[in-house]
Each structure stands twice: as structure tokens, then as C-alpha cells.
Amino acid sequence: MLTSIALSTFITLGGWSVHSDKTYMSCYSEGECVKNKYNYNHSAVIVEHDGYTMGTYKNSYFQRTNFIGYTYRHNQLAVTGAIGSGYSGLKNNDYTCVLPAFGECVLITVSYSLEPLKVILMGDALAVAFELELD
């Protein structure tokens, strides 16, 4: 006897953020430090299928981040844990990279869905993106 399992697929697109601070410092080995503005337009493309999640976005430091992970959902609340690239060399006040792993970064996000919008908390950034659930 075959039983059907309802699998859920979500697509997240876009992404616009605000940070707790408007700028961040980049310090170089020569001791020189430069103040930079954060990126606020992330061009995210994220696919989640039955919890398994992968995607790409331009992070707050203007670097492309690719990641793979798992999302746990409970009603509108979701928590994603993932391994991602694109945060190398960003150790100055960066709260996004929770733990360096395998030369990459462990990423944790908490989000809340307000269809068709999704509010995302990641590090010290609060973002909003479009989220679509496919049937």
C-alpha cells in the first residue's frame, strides 16, 4: 500500500535589510582600517524542499554567499542552520558567521512568514524577502 506524503516547497526571492549599525570596519594586515557601508540589497534565490534548504545571496559585505542546510518550520516560524561560503576574512564585528567550519561558516537564521513576505533575522541584520509556497 502506497501512502502519499505531503512535501512542502518554498522559494525565497529578493532580500532587503537594515543593520544595527550603518557601517562596518575592514582592517588589513598593515593595520589600516576602512569604514564601509553595508549592502542592503541581497538578490537572494533560496529553495527549501521538505526542510532541505539551499541558496545563494549577496551578503552584507557585497560577497556572494552559497549555502546548504536544513530548515525547521513550526507554523509561520522557521529556523535554518546551514554551512555557507562568502564570509572569509570577515572577523571584525561579524555576528553572521556563528562558527567557522571546514573553512566555511555556520549560518543560523530565524524567520517569520507573513505571506507573501518573510521577515529574517541573521546576525545583526533584519531583512525582508518574498516567499512563495509551491503546492
Indicate the SS3 state at residue 50. Answer: coil
Mean local confidence (pLDDT), 31-36: 84
Q: What is the DSSP letter of 44?
A: E
Backbone φ, ψ for residue 103 (5° rounding): 75, 0
> 8 and 132 in contact (C-beta within 8 Å)?
no
Provide, rounded to the nearest whole percent, the portion of the chain with pLDDT above 70: 83
> 53 and 80 in contact (C-beta within 8 Å)?
yes
pTM: 0.82
Strands 125-134 and 9-19: antiparallel
Mean local confidence (pLDDT), 72-92: 81
- The residue ranges of every structural domain in the chain are 9-134
Q: Which of 35, 77, 84, 34 is nearest to 59 (CA)?
A: 84
Q: Residue 26 pLDDT more than 70?
A: yes
Angstrom distance (rounded) from CA 51 to CA 82: 11
